[in-house]
A and B are shown apart, each in its own frame.
Chain A
Amino acid sequence: GQSLEQPSEVTAVEGAIVQINCTYQTSGFYGLSWYQQHDGGAPTFLSYNALDGLEETGRFSSFLSRSDSYGYLLLQELQMKDSASYFCAVRSESRDSGTYKYIFGTGTRLKVLA
Chain B
Amino acid sequence: DVKVTQSSRYLVKRTGEKVFLECVQDMDHENMFWYRQDPGLGLRLIYFSYDVKMKEKGDIPEGYSVSREKKERFSLILESASTNQTSMYLCASIGAGLNYEQYFGPGTRLTVT
Note all chain B residues with C-beta closer than 8 A to A8: 40
A106 pairs with B40, CB closer than 8 A: yes
Q: Is the CB of A45 within 8 A of B54?
A: no
Decide yes or no whether A15 CB sits under 8 A from chain B.
Answer: no
Which of B43, B56, B102 has a CB less than 8 Å from the CB of A96? Answer: B56
**Please, what's the 1-or-0 string for B83-99, where 1 marks a CB less than 8 Å from any CB in chain A?**
00000001010000000
Verify if B58 is at the interface (C-beta below 8 Å from A).
yes
B residues near A (Cβ < 8 Å) are 31, 33, 35, 40-45, 48, 50, 54, 56, 58-59, 90, 92, 100-107
Cβ of A99 and Cβ of B44 under 8 Å apart? no
- Contact check: which of A43, A45, A97 meets B90 at CB < 8 Å? A43
How long is the Cα–Cα vector from A99 to B105 in the complex, in angstroms? Answer: 21
Q: A44-B104, A48-B100 are in contact. Are A100 and B31 (CB under 8 A)?
A: yes
A-B contact pairs, 18 of them (CB 8 A): A35-B102, A42-B104, A42-B105, A43-B90, A44-B104, A45-B103, A91-B100, A96-B56, A97-B56, A99-B31, A99-B48, A99-B50, A99-B56, A101-B45, A102-B33, A104-B44, A105-B42, A106-B41
A31 part of interface (Cβ distance < 8 Å): yes
Chain B residues in 8 Å Cβ range of A31: 100
Closest A-B pairs by Cβ, 8 of them = A48-B100, A106-B42, A42-B104, A104-B43, A99-B50, A45-B101, A104-B42, A107-B42
CA distance A103 to B48 in the complex (A): 12
Instruction: Enumerate chain B residues within 8 angstroms of A91, measured Cβ to Cβ.
Output: 100
Q: Indicate whether A94 reaches chain B with its CB closer than 8 angstroms.
A: yes
Residues A43 and B43 in contact, CB atoms below 8 Å apart: yes
Beta-carbon contact of B107 and A42 below 8 Å = yes
Report the separation of the CA atoms of residues A7 and B56 in the bound assembly, to the nearest whole angstrom.
30
